[in-house]
Structure 1
Amino acid sequence: MNKIKVKTGEEIAYREREGSGDKLVLIHGNMTSSKHWDVLMDSLPENYHLLAPDMRGFGKSSYNNRFDSLEELAQDLINLLDQKNFKNYNLIGWSTGGGVAMEIAAKRPTEVNKLILLESVSTRGYPILKKDEGGQPIPGELLETKEEIASDPVQVLPVLNAQKNNDKETMRQIWNSLIYTDNQPEEERYEKYLDDMMTQRNLIDVDYALAHFNISDQHNGLQSGNNKAEKITAPTLILQGDQDKVVPMSMAEAIKEDIGNNAEIQILENCGHSPLIDDIDQLVDAITKFL
């Protein structure tokens, strides 16, 4: 891994595999880092030039400044790409990374050739609902502040406490129940992933940014949209697993609606939130055909 100090004051770590073919920037999701792209980086054609950064507060990147938006994470990566003189590239964003990728594609439409959104957060954000005394979500009642989000007993506190206490067994149970529901990484790889999950220092900032993310032309329950989605001109492939327990199909459909005719949805069969583990061959086939 290498590191670059960017203009936002952060030191961004990244993995790079050089090649003479298509350039592809891989943006990871929440609770992960560039480490979790290893299976895909090993499986994509050798001529692809791959660049996989750790976002601020993840993996080996710094966390000098707290943040409130995915746009701030996107600016870190834009600065990284500028300093590396990385031009005319494709983007793939997984989950939270999909939102960051959309921010980049909206800010730099002439530089992004194609955009791939893998099990991505919606253009209208990822809300966290308030819970009743039994821990069940209360429809229509959204958590708004970082303090409220940090106290959520179901979606946030178990992850936050596991990371604080280096409790890999609890984190394994969370991932097995939501993400690795049918297939799991081989044990040695899984252990490395769990170690990597413990490096995250920004969970509350990320969850807050996801709840407030809204680049549509609609209100998402917390705030009005800024309609940045219409600035995304790159051909966009929305990859959605039919078994995803984290991101519902309605979010993929919202992305398609908000970006418009240059976006298409492709269903990944028998895949959950991590097609990298569920069916890497199907995922590579979809990516390479689109690019």
Structure 2
Amino acid sequence: MKKKAITLKNEEQYYYIDTEKGDQIIVLLHGNMSSSIHYKPLIERFKGQYRVIAPDMRGFGDSSYKKPIDSLHDLADDVLDFLRILGVKKYHLAGWSTGGAIAMSMAIKAPNQIDKLILIESCSYRGYPIFKKNDQFQPIVGDYYQSKEDMATDPVQIAPMVQAFETNNVAMMNAVWDQAIYTVNKPSKEDNDLYLSETMKQRNLVDIDWGLMTFNLSNFSNGVTLGDGTIHQIDCPVLSFWSEQDMVVLEYMVDETVEALQNVKKITLENSGHSPLVDCPDKLAKQIIHFIQ
């Protein structure tokens, strides 16, 4: 899958996949520790029927990371500018995991552009919690890190991953995906090698993790930041997927968002984990196509 490149008004360079042909447009936003390439199973199933546009967001894949992000909303602004430059004015928008938060932000910032919103194993509209750890390295539920610097020292979720990126420890990254993400099916060796090579290009892990902790569209605090109450501004139809074997995004996180939205349908996927893109791509594509037709 060949990527193209354009430069945004903030001078960041965005690399992206664009299948170019199709009456309707679907924009796909990847999650943390991934890139546009991780959408390969969906792109292959949508190609020809829909024009698919999938960017590597700032600090991921081949895209630049000249200016560190302050929040996930910065990435929403990036993608909106990216689509403006491409001349794309109406589209369906899908976000996987962290990409779901960015997609929700875009739906608030540009409601007239988005026809339908698809959330795939998305973090909550109240962000994603990272708790402090006790002496046994277990999470102390309710005890949140209060600064990016403290969070970066987390001995389980953050520091080891930062080290894996810094030392290009592909074997460790492979083990993490194998144990936490691919809980049902595994990609082919060829695809797995491709996905891992894209994952290892990430340069913004701590900023993204802090962005997840501070993301909050609710009317109340999430333990780290006060919400801005903007979730109620999302009025487009929403389809939200949650997989029964997801070990990363728990069902209560998805349900929080579903309960806060006005026009939403939740689909529970059986025999699937955090990556239905790998576990059940046919079923996922079929449900998305049915939703946007």
TM tier relative to shorter chain: over 0.9
Aligned to 2:98: 96
What root-mean-square deviation, in Å, do the aligned CA atoms of Structure 1 and Structure 2 show?
0.9
Q: Percent identity at matched positions? A: 42
Query: Is the Cα contact below 8 Å between 1:12 and 1:61 reproduced in 2?
Result: yes
Distance, in Å, in 2 between the alignment partners of 1:139 and 1:249 is 17
- 1:77 is paired with a residue whose SS is helix
Once the two structures are superposed, residues 77-118 of structure 1 have per-residue CA deviations (whole angstroms, 9 ceiling, x without a partner) of: 000011111011000000000000000011111110000000
The one-letter amino acid paired with 1:175 is W
**In 2, Cα distance between equivalents of 1:106 and 1:263:** 15
Gaps of 5+ in 2: none
Could you tell me which amino acid in structure 1 is paired with residue 38 of structure 2? Answer: H
One-letter amino acid of the structure 2 residue matched with residue 133 of structure 1: D
* Unmatched segments (≥5 aa) in structure 1: none
Deviation track 1:192-227 (CA, whole Å, cap 9, x = no partner) reads: 111111100000000000000001122111121111
CA distance in 2, matches of 1:14, 1:45: 15
Specify the alignment match of 2:34 in structure 1: 32
Q: What is the match of residue 215 of structure 2?
A: 213
Structure-2-length-normalised TM-score = 0.97
**Pick from 6, 19, 22: which aligns with 1:20?**
22
Task: Summarize deviations over 1:148-201 as a string: whole Å, max 9, x none.
Answer: 121111111221111111111111111111101221110011011111111000
1:115 counterpart residue number: 117
Cα deviation for residue 273 of structure 1 reads: 0.3
Q: How does 1:1-291 map to 2 (within 5 A)?
A: 1-44=3-46, 46-260=48-262, 262-291=263-292
Preserved CA contact (<8 Å) 1:144 1:208: no
Does the CA-based 8 Å contact 2:95-2:118 persist in structure 1?
A: yes
User: Do the aligned residues in 2 keep the contact of 1:144 with 1:211 (CA within 8 Å)?
Assistant: no
Moved over 6 A (4+): none
Does the 8 Å CA contact 1:109/1:232 hold for their aligned counterparts? yes
C-alpha distance in 1 between matches for 2:280 and 2:209: 28
TM-score (norm 1): 0.98
8 Å contact from structure 2 (residues 181, 247) kept in 1:
yes
The one-letter code of the counterpart of 1:109 is P
Measure how far apart 1:256 and its partner are: 1.0
**Displacement, 1:64?**
0.3
Contact 1:73 1:100 in 2 (8 A): yes
- 1:193 & 1:20 partners in 2: Cα distance? 26
